[in-house]
Structure 1
Amino acid sequence: MDAPSGAGPRTVTCGSPGTAEPTAAGRSARAPTAPWARFSAWLECVCVVTFDLELGQALELVYPSDFQLTDKEKGSICYLSFPDSHSGCLGDTQFSFRMRQCGGQRSPWHSEDRRYNSGAPVALQSLVLVSRLPFVRLFQSLLSLIAPEYFDKLAPCLEAVCNEIDQWPAPVPGQTLNLPVMGVVIQAHIPSRVDKPEPSPLKQCDQNLLPAPVVLASVHELDLFRCFRPVLTHVQMLWELMLLGEPLLVLAPSPDVSSELVLALTSCLQPLKFCCDFRPYFTIHDSEFKEFTTRTQAPPNVVLGVTNPFFIKTLQHWPHVLRVGEPKMSGDLPKQVKLKKPSRLKTLDTKPGLYTAYTAHLHRDKALLKRLLKGVQKKRPGDLQSALLRRHLLELTQSFIFPLEHYMASLMPLQKNITPWKTPPQIRPFRQEDFLRSLEHSGPQLTCILKGDWLGLYRRFFKSPHFDGWYRQRHREMAHKLEALHLEALCEADIETWMKDKSEVEVVDLVLKLREKLVRAQGHQLPVKAVTLQRVQLYIEMAIGSLPKDLQAVLCPP
């Protein structure tokens, strides 16, 4: 199963299986070079959960054994690792859930996360993989290998697998890695923000690998077409709801359908980061149940995947509810769920449908639906159907974001106004009305054929968590760029001439400022060339060398 990741939730994959993300207090504070350091770059831990008819769910095993889970986390893993009794799951099943991190500060064990995040693009007996990474496809493949062997050979198998994972290279964005486990080599490309939208097929890293590697087309992308089959006619409206961060309840017949549909919905906004909470699989036993179901305040910005019809009655005050039925196994396009008013929501016997009073701002792309339907009729492979759907959503998001990016870039100070001896000019404020006026000449109509109320969509987007998340990220990137440009301006200045008529206090102040800028450039990974950083260090040494010996001793203690 998958549970939430990060400082909030983590992603968890479970088999009876599923995938989850870890808690902030997850690991005991060990040095990054300690045993299991490489293992922790991929997984927090592997859990075995058993079900006893008298005692209920119990956490039987956690590996590595010294991984520290809080009681709240243990409870979440136990309850979320088993399908709800209403789902009627039989036999093997695999799904994802997210759970909230508990505890205080992140331990040094996770200190290498920044390296990944800086390059990553802006998810009877149960075996559970807990991870901070949203690599659902990879963990599903890993779980399908581990679970059958574990249920046959138990703990020794689990220990051997964890030791193998502890030898894997770190997940560095942009790299294609070979990951050996249980006699199989999984070849996976770690996504990078500089990847093209549709990367070329993976190249084998080592042609001498034996056996031939199992090549994953993606470590995180699901079969989008399969997930959206029953709601294809509403994909564009669902995209708008995701873009606006609207609360959405997804009621599915099983945890695997629930988790995949929620994960598919949250992936609709790529390359825009999904900034709201989402729970691929959620039950009444979750520790956040009361928080999400209270009627004393507006519904939270969360996409909630459930299987228990009880939620239909409990969350009738939510503005959007999507109920889907059992998936069809035939090649035909299943009956599409109908758009219904929230007032049609009944109790436990509510029929499949999208219950919402929301009116889409953009007109439906009928040509896309025709192409997908034609693909079904001609038995076009599912991966090609998914690629078609993913490209459509990507282009739609890019068309929406491009005018925002264009306007944001216009707020950046001109490079000619950045001088070495003055504080860099500030980024101008984002004025919504100015942006809306700019749409006449640089709006989404330049790149998207869809008609509709784009202005109305932007106005609602400004109130969503996704605008706030996008703006904060872009503003931070631009501020870092400003710092980098100012540092380069300093390096191009004639510091030696500048120092000739300056007092010792001014020179010391220059040394301290250059040191501060050097630390920030390295700590914040500013877009500065290595030669620039070397020149800054040289200028620091030059400035210190021009000072009296006693000041040199203070600035450069032995």
Structure 2
Amino acid sequence: MSENPHHWVAAVAIVNFDLELGQSIEHVEPASFLLTEQERLNICYLAFPDSNSGCSGDTCYHFRIRKEYNVTKERDDIGSRDSHFYYGYVFFRQTKGEQFKRGYFQKSFVLLTRKPYINLYSNIVQIMAPQYFESGKVAIEVAMHNFTCWEPIVPGKSYQVPLLGQVLSFHIPSVKDKTQNKTSEFPGHVLAPKPVVLRSIVESDVYNTLRPLLPHIGIVWELVLMSEPIVVFGPSPSATSALVQTLVSLTAPLRYANDYRPYFTIHDSEFQEFTSKTHTPSRIILGVTNPYFNKALQHWPNVIILDSDKNKNLKILNPKEHSSSSLRGKPGFYTRYKPFLNKDKNVKKLLRGDRQRPAEVEDIMLRRYLTELTHTLMIPLEQYISSLMPLQKQLNPFRQPPLLQQFQQDAFIASLNESSLKINTDLKGLRGNWKELYRKFIKSPNFELWFQSKRSEANQRLELLHVQQLCEADLYRWKTDKHEVEIVDMLLWIRDRYDALQRLGDCPDLQDHLKNHIDTLLEVVPTDLQGTLKPAFNL
């Protein structure tokens, strides 16, 4: 299958456990889908829960692996791009049977994609895998045919699509959506049977996933914000992958810029790098289940050990207890991080909960709280970025457009007067050392990724304003006293602006204006030069 990013599914892999051979991929659909040998090995190990996790029956979770050809070249890039990774959605089945050599049947159904639509693909796997175990490969073939009939992935679009006799209804979030909970605006036609509606294709059950950490949600939010390394120990891959994925989304709508692995094993090709004690732990969030990591990662500064009781709150334990002996069996939240903000009293409302409230309401309340917390942080930064925009009077249609001014940390910190910080304290009742919080955040990859996006957005806006000015310029008057060389230079300049419009989006009116400018200038150059230039400007 091609690497077309609009494809919903990259491949399906069936991974079997053999007593003599161990894990092996016995089938891949489509057969043309290529994996390197190392990628196949990583998937084989990630497709099975760790033997010490005691999984039985059906177990669902997901993992994330880097495409092998990016390992050395792009490991340190700011902002891990989805195209550099595969997401694997696992349905593992283990059943007892005397006919099996080890007394167990163990096989995993793995759906590989390039999109982190965790809730969507988890639901898809839970539809596909049981039918595969019942009907065999024909279920995969039918499902893959269903996927080819789905319309391409378009942010902001709603879908109602068939899958193996069922119908899924969901919405692909976009930056224009105020929330990722949008499920309306589905296609007018109705497919039978009644659709399974996904409120969000990204997160599910956020409240219950974070519940053990809610008393410390402020510290956890800061850890993720600052790109601090975190390791999550859990009783199963389902528990670790759910929490790691939720942590990554904790600072939404701010995008998490670092690597993360919802489920990670000691057999992974990157194990030595992530566990090395010769350098500072990588900016990564790891989910693990194997007790060996207790020893391998005891030097990590932030460790979350989940309790088997999902409803039990984790305590912050003394950093001095952060040793291999304490990590072996004592659930808790070990951290050496000292937060900049005081504990928010509003969190008590989330902790109390209400048995009368549906789980969906608890999810919405928590997500809204976290989103407002991030918005609170970003308001002064957004305001400062606005002040870096050049004035419109600085734009000259006949010169290169100015760029967004450089971000100056000291200037920004100086701009944080009482009135700007009052926005923070009034909105959330949050008090603390905001200036030092910003100083540390500005040094993080999360800030750098955000600023890169803002800078690109601002410069594109300036470029568009510049083209608009050029379109409005009076070239009839401009050309009257210009030499031939100057006119040719202007023609090249306008052609460059025309090409820029194609990068900036669909602007047919502006393109028409630039075409008219080119025609105007071509009329005044000598006839022989027109013959040379016109083919180059045949837009």
**TM-score, scaled relative to structure 2:** 0.88
Of 316, 320, 338, which aligns to 2:298?
316
Aligned to 2:339: 360
Q: How does 1:318-333 map to 2 (within 5 A)?
A: 318-328=300-310
Aligned to 2:158: 176
Measure how far apart 1:147 and its partner are. Answer: 0.3
d(CA) in 2 for partners of 1:94, 1:518: 51
Q: How does 1:56-455 map to 2 (within 5 A)?
A: 56-103=22-69, 124-197=106-179, 199=181, 201-328=183-310, 334-347=311-324, 349-375=328-354, 378-440=355-417, 441-443=419-421, 444-445=424-425, 447-455=427-435
Percentage of identical aligned residues: 41
Measure how far apart 1:63 and its partner are. Answer: 1.2
Give unpaired runs (5+ residues) of structure 1. Answer: 1-26, 30-36, 106-115, 118-122, 329-333
Structure 1 residue 461 and structure 2 residue 441: aligned?
yes
Residues 363-392 of structure 1: CA distance to partner in whole angstroms, max 9, x if unpaired?
2223322344142xx342111111111111
Contact 1:202–1:217 (Cα < 8 Å) also in 2 = no
d(CA) in 1 for partners of 2:322, 2:116: 33
Contact 1:362–1:450 (Cα < 8 Å) also in 2 = yes
Aligned length: 500
Contact 2:14–2:107 (Cα < 8 Å) also in 1 = yes
Task: Identify the range of structure 1 (84-93 vs 502-511) with the bigger mean alpha-carbon deviation.
Answer: 502-511
Aligned to 1:109: none
d(CA) in 2 for partners of 1:44, 1:550: 55
SS in 2 for 1:127: strand
Structure 1 residue 54 and structure 2 residue 15: aligned?
no
SS in 2 for 1:166: helix
SS in 1 for 2:458: helix
Measure how far apart 1:345 and its partner are. Answer: 2.5
Contact 2:344–2:429 (Cα < 8 Å) also in 1 = no
Aligned to 1:34: none
d(CA) in 2 for partners of 1:545, 1:430: 45
d(CA) in 2 for partners of 1:401, 1:457: 12
Structure 1 residue 500 and structure 2 residue 480: aligned?
yes
d(CA) in 2 for partners of 1:518, 1:80: 49
Contact 1:44–1:132 (Cα < 8 Å) also in 2 = yes
Measure how far apart 1:498 and its partner are. Answer: 1.4
SS in 2 for 1:360: coil
SS in 1 for 2:416: helix
- CA root-mean-square deviation: 2.1
Give the aligned residue type for 1:438. Answer: S
Aligned to 1:14: none
Measure how far apart 1:222 and its partner are. Answer: 2.1
Structure 1 residues 553 and 265: alpha-carbon distance in aligned structure 2, compared to 1, 3 A threshold: same
SS in 2 for 1:86: helix
Residues 297-351 of structure 1: CA distance to partner in whole angstroms, max 9, x if unpaired?
11110000101121121111111111001144xxxxx221110133213336240
SS in 2 for 1:93: strand
Q: How does 1:7-46 map to 2 (within 5 A)?
A: 41-46=7-12
Aligned to 1:475: 455
d(CA) in 1 for partners of 2:109, 2:522: 60
Structure 1 residues 515 and 445: alpha-carbon distance in aligned structure 2, compared to 1, 3 A threshold: farther
Measure how far apart 1:58 and its partner are. Answer: 0.6
Residues 419-448 of structure 1: CA distance to partner in whole angstroms, max 9, x if unpaired?
211222232221111111211132333533
Structure 1 residues 128 and 550: alpha-carbon distance in aligned structure 2, compared to 1, 3 A threshold: farther
d(CA) in 2 for partners of 1:536, 1:101: 43
Structure 1 residues 504 and 326: alpha-carbon distance in aligned structure 2, compared to 1, 3 A threshold: same
d(CA) in 2 for partners of 1:531, 1:537: 10
SS in 2 for 1:103: helix
**TM-score, scaled relative to structure 1:** 0.86
SS in 1 for 2:170: strand
d(CA) in 1 for partners of 2:484, 2:58: 74
Residues 46-72 of structure 1: CA distance to partner in whole angstroms, max 9, x if unpaired?
111111111111111111111111111
Contact 1:177–1:187 (Cα < 8 Å) also in 2 = yes
d(CA) in 1 for partners of 2:378, 2:322: 35
d(CA) in 2 for partners of 1:196, 1:335: 33
Measure how far apart 1:199 and its partner are. Answer: 4.9
Measure how far apart 1:518 and its partner are. Answer: 2.1
Aligned to 1:120: none
Measure how far apart 1:539 and its partner are. Answer: 2.0
Give the aligned residue type for 1:144. Answer: Q
Contact 2:180–2:200 (Cα < 8 Å) also in 1 = no
Task: Identify the range of structure 1 (531-540 vs 490-499) with the bigger mean alpha-carbon deviation.
Answer: 531-540
Higher Cα radius of gyration: 2
Contact 2:181–2:199 (Cα < 8 Å) also in 1 = no
SS in 2 for 1:78: helix
Measure how far apart 1:104 and its partner are. Answer: 6.7
SS in 2 for 1:152: helix
SS in 1 for 2:449: helix
d(CA) in 1 for partners of 2:291, 2:430: 36
Give unpaired runs (5+ residues) of structure 2. Answer: 72-81, 84-88, 90-105
Measure how far apart 1:544 and its partner are. Answer: 3.0
d(CA) in 1 for partners of 2:207, 2:294: 26
SS in 2 for 1:77: helix
d(CA) in 1 for partners of 2:368, 2:2: 43
Task: Identify the range of structure 1 (350-359 vs 364-373) with the bigger mean alpha-carbon deviation.
Answer: 364-373
Residues 434-475 of structure 1: CA distance to partner in whole angstroms, max 9, x if unpaired?
111211132333533211111121111122111111111111
